[in-house]
């Protein structure tokens, strides 16, 4: 989301170099959506991917569809959502063309729609799976009841949700419990939770609590925020948004940090603004 015109506006050689840097660090999954960059970033990434000469099988491409986004070639006034069979299939085929690939490793429905219907969604997913155009299916920003509503024959393997120390509601609202008990994978978008862009009371409390831990564990703030998330038993995969090679490297190293339980709770308490009952 942040590599193209919505973010750092990387040119093709810079994107190719960043793909190589990720692969060298062991990161092989790349998170896309048809709408990123106003329907331009998948194509930019696809050009860079071809330039890397990395084999397709050694990478995982995730993409999403369902949001209709106002942009140059889509003259609509506001976002809305479409999950008809034909639309899902059309958007996946566009993503494949733009990413220069024959298949997506994982397709996610981007956001739940009040108008979505299980038969339309499952008709599309069955066809895409049968044709080998997607290898697996998942959702994003879905509640447990929305997952139950659209469940078909095929497994729903991932839910990509907003989750971080700052945005820790999924720990309490049943989302992570449901995903864990149903053996579904969890990806967290916004894993740093705007910690570096917001200045508010919650951010100040978290910052204060991070300080002694930075000294104790000899790591930086972003590493602790990611380590906190990854220590949750739901085995959360952070979808990191940084485009900075050094920060990507630190993110990978964060997986090695094991916080003592009391330290993990000190961060949760700081984020909540109240002690545990
Ligand atoms: N499914 C969904 O609905 C949904 C919604 C939003 C996003 N996503 C996905 O999730 C990905 C990550 O989301 P996100 O971008 O919100 O993730 P994030 O990793 O929480 O935040 C990334 C932002 O934080 C900055 N940053 C990172 N480390 C920093 C540091 N140490 N100091 C200062 N700034 C720092 C980055 O800037 P630099 O690049 O300069 O490091 C970047 O702007 C997106 O790229 C997208 O693929 C999905």
Nearest CA to ligand 1 atom 21: 241
Ligand 1 pocket mutation pick from 3, 138, 165, 190 by most atoms within 8 angstroms of CB: 190
pTM: 0.98
Helix or strand or coil: residue 236?
strand
Q: How confident is the model at residue 58 (pLDDT cuts 50, 70, 90)?
A: very high
Nearest CA to ligand 1 atom 38: 242
pLDDT digits 0-9 by tens, 218-249: 999 999 999 999 999 999 999 999 999 999 99
CATH assignment of 1-156, among 3.60.15.10, 3.30.1240.10, 3.20.20.100, 3.30.1600.10: 3.20.20.100
Whether residue 238 contacts residue 188, with contact meaning beta carbons closer than 8 Å, is answered with yes
* Span from the CA of 207 to the centroid of ligand 1 (angstroms): 18
The fraction of the chain above a pLDDT of 90, given in percent, is 99
* Cβ–ligand 1 contact at 9 (below 6 Å): no
pLDDT digits 0-9 by tens, 102-151: 999 999 999 999 999 999 999 999 999 999 999 999 999 999 999 999 99
* Cβ–ligand 1 contact at 194 (below 6 Å): no
Which residues have C-beta within 8 Å of that of residue 123, sequence separation ≥ 6?
85
Residue range 202-207: mean pLDDT, rounded: 97
Q: Which sequence spans correspond to the domains of the chain?
A: 1-156, 187-277
Q: Is the pLDDT of residue 5 over 90?
A: yes
The span from the CA of 202 to the CA of 88, in Å, is 39
The fraction of the chain above a pLDDT of 70, given in percent, is 100
What pLDDT is attached to residue 123?
Answer: 98
What pLDDT is attached to residue 206?
Answer: 98
Q: Is the pLDDT of residue 92 over 90?
A: yes
Which residues have C-beta within 8 Å of that of residue 240, sequence separation ≥ 6?
191, 226, 247, 248, 251
Residue keyed to tokens 């006034």: 77
What pLDDT is attached to residue 73?
Answer: 86
């Amino acid at each position: 989301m942040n590599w193209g015109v919505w973010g750092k506006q990387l040119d093709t050689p810079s994107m190719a170099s960043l793909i190589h840097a990720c692969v060298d660090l062991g990161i092989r999954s790349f998170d896309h959506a048809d709408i990123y960059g106003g329907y331009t970033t998948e194509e930019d990434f696809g050009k860079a991917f071809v330039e890397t000469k990395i084999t397709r099988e050694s990478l995982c491409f995730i993409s999403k569809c369902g949001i209709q986004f106002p942009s140059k070639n889509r003259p609509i006034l506001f976002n809305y959502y479409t999950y008809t069979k034909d639309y899902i299939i059309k958007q996946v085929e566009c993503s494949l063309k733009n990413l220069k690939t024959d298949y997506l490793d994982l397709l996610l429905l981007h956001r739940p729609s009040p108008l979505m219907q299980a038969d339309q969604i499952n008709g599309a997913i069955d066809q895409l799976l049968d044709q080998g155009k997607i290898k697996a299916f998942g959702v994003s920003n879905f509640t447990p009841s929305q997952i139950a509503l659209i469940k078909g024959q095929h497994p729903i393997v991932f839910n990509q949700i907003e989750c971080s120390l700052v945005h820790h509601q999924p720990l309490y609202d049943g989302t992570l419990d449901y995903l864990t008990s149903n053996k579904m994978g969890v990806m967290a978008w916004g894993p740093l939770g705007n910690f570096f862009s917001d200045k508010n009371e919650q951010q100040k409390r978290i910052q204060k609590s991070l300080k002694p831990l930075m000294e104790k564990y000899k790591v930086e703030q972003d590493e602790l925020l990611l380590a906190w998330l990854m220590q949750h038993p739901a085995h959360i995969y952070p979808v990191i948004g940084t485009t900075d090679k050094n920060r990507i490297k630190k993110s990978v190293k964060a997986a090695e940090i094991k916080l003592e339980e009391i330290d993990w709770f000190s961060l949760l308490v700081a984020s909540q603004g109240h002690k545990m009952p």
